[in-house]
Amino acid sequence: MSSKFHKLALEYHKGNRPGKIIVSSHKSLTTCEDLSLAYTPGVAIPVREIAQDANKVYDFTIKRNLVAVISDGSAVLGLGNVGPLASKPVMEGKAVLFKHFADIDVFDIEIDTQDVDDFVQTVKNIAPTFGGINLEDISAPRCFEIEKRLIEMLDIPVFHDDQHGTAIIIAAGLLNSLEIQNKDIETIQLVCLGAGSAGIATLDLLCELGLSKDNILLVDSGGVISKDMENVSQVKAQYGTKTDKKTLTDVMQGADVFIGVAVANLVSKQMIKSMADRPIVFALSNPDPEISPKDANSVRDDLIMATGRSDYPNQVNNVLGFPFIFRGALDAKASEINLKMKIAAVYALKDLAKLEVPNSVLKAYSTKYMTFGKDYIIPKPFDPRLIEVVPKAVFDVAVSSGVSRL
């Protein structure tokens, strides 16, 4: 990053009032009567109502529209284990996105422990405050156990966005890319570089959508995950294959799809050149991808490419998912965000990309033309239809699948 941008970012976060969020009241408090309603004695009336019927907490408090964004700071962006205090700007940023895109209120909570039991117990103890829990920037494999245990314990949605948010956006973009490239998810050969939370969750979801485990080659920092490897976690081992291939170079040969959720510059031009006809490349490491679009396009003119960056076409951005998924879940008073709700979000995003792009989106991105195709496989974050389409899809499935309190 340039020194100018570095300074601008610090000034943005500091300003006259440090941070990015505030807590404010939306009820009147200008008269003596207002005060008596807001606090004693008026506040005792909803207290009694909720004491008699716990579900009325959704009618008389912020719970129905309040999400906790919670992190221990163990896997923040591409910066690693920076701890809870250093994670706070990111959690505040998440709060801003929730509010801007879906009018959801957020308390960001940074927990000073990386012990799984302590973390889970802390979240369990504060959960009654919230209508949903968004786990964020927690390292693998701890994140898998934390999310699983909290889902089992709590009666509100628990969603680890680094896992499922990423997976949902990738899946929507990939399904559209396969359609454009005239390929079938049931027969493609897919390479996934990165076996952390995003990589595993993406493979889990794609398998639910028809991808065969036999057609997956998973690569981590130690090489290709094979069935005969020892000391491999159960999470990774489920995607181990019977293969003699050892390196990323080996598995890229003839691959139809590459999904990178690792670190920058691990993929060479030669690897892209060795892929099958009409390849699909999702190089999603941020801020720098596993291979730049410039390098990939210099050796292949038949590929579709996505990155995690806004300055290239086809940005895979979690903001397309989590605000709208939670909006639908909260509106349904859902007890969880289940697989059917996640798949509903995938197809809502997939189908939205095929519709005519509104002028407001073209203006926001300073272009006169944008249509479904190689350079537009998923909607843009500022598409005003997202708030109409995705929450409704999630809401409807929450109700039909029996996890709604309505």
In the residue annotation, 245 being an active-site residue is answered as no
Beta strands in 271-378 (DSSP E): 280-283, 304-307
Q: Percent of the chain, pLDDT > 70? A: 100
Q: Percent of the chain, pLDDT > 90? A: 83
Q: The pTM is what?
A: 0.93
Stretch 197-204: mean pLDDT: 94
- 58, 49 contact by CB (below 8 A): no
Stretch 326-330: mean pLDDT: 98
Stretch 335-351: mean pLDDT: 98
Domains and CATH numbers, the chain: 3-156 (3.40.50.10380), 319-401 (no CATH)
pLDDT at residue 1, rounded to an integer: 67
| Residue 318, both tokens | 């979690």
pLDDT at residue 237, rounded to an integer: 85
| Residue 313, both tokens | 């076409």
- Give kind and range of the element (H or E) at residue 237: helix 234-237
Is residue 268 pLDDT above 80, yes or no? Answer: yes
Local confidence band at 266 (pLDDT 50, 70, 90 cut-offs): very high
Local confidence band at 155 (pLDDT 50, 70, 90 cut-offs): very high
pLDDT at residue 181, rounded to an integer: 98
Question: Among 63, 88, 94, 333, which one carries the catalytic annotation?
Answer: 94
In the residue annotation, 20 being an active-site residue is answered as no
Is residue 238 pLDDT above 80, yes or no? Answer: yes
Question: Among 7, 14, 39, 246, which one carries the catalytic annotation?
Answer: 39
Burial 236-271 (b: 16+ CB within 10 A, else e): bebbbbeeebeebebbbeebbbbbbbbebebbbeeb
Stretch 89-106: mean pLDDT: 96
